[in-house]
Amino acid sequence: MTMEQVVVTWIHLLCASIWVGGSIFLGLVLAPLLKKMSFPIEERLNLMIKTGRRFNKIALPALIILIATGIYNSHLVLQSNEILFSTSYGVFLITKIILVIALIVTFVIHIRVFNKNIEEKIAAKRITDSELQKLTKKGMILGETTVVISVAVLFFAALLDVGI
């Protein structure tokens, strides 16, 4: 392995740590904690949205870098299209790519659901309790989906690394 490959792999792992670690914190630590707090639902949801926005400032660049370094790492192994379809490495890589696409779609939906307009409506208390409940449920589902997909991507990354 060349020094260039070491640096690219290190950057890839660092960005994976940011993305997955942050997603796990938001989905498995902060969200359940906020759910149990006695603050009004508007305040809890607003705090989660603000935290998510702040996280996205490092998470989105990390995800983009992850994709770029993943493509770079894959091209080193894939010398022909046959490897992609005739080896376990190829099958795992295709599965990982599909999971990453699902992750991106989930992330985009999450951002669209919790847009700036929704945040302003919540802050101004121009949103009904029913809408708040629906938003909270959507947020939990999207957050949990992000965590599950992210962990699955890590699992397939481990399979690729081992070379099974």
- Tell whether the model's pLDDT for residue 105 goes beyond 90: yes
- When the pLDDT of each residue in the chain is averaged and rounded to a whole number, the result is 92
Query: Where do we find the tokens 């940011």?
Result: 18
Q: Is the pLDDT of residue 110 over 90?
A: yes
The C-alpha torsion from 127 through 130 and 135 to 140, rounded to 10°, is: 150
Compute the average pLDDT of residues 55-65.
Answer: 96
0.85 exceeded by pTM: yes
How do the domains of the chain map onto residue ranges? 3-162
Residue 70 has pLDDT above 90, yes or no: yes
Q: What is the mean predicted confidence (pLDDT) over 107-134? A: 92
Nearest in space to 18 (alpha carbons), one of 162, 150, 158, 159: 150
Residue that is written with structure tokens 């490092």 in the block = 58
CA dist 148 and 151 (Å) reads 5
pLDDT of residue 144: 93
Mean pLDDT calculated for residue range 27-39: 90
Burial call 81-114: b when 16+ CB within 10 Å, e when fewer? eeebeeeebbebbebbbebbebbeebbeebeeeb
Q: What is the mean pLDDT of residues 53-69?
A: 96
Q: Mean per-residue pLDDT for 129-144? A: 92
What pLDDT, on a 0 to 100 scale, did the predictor assign at position 79? 78
Residues whose CB falls within 8 Å of the CB of residue 47, separated by 6 or more in sequence, listed in order: 34, 39
pLDDT (average), residues 1-20: 94
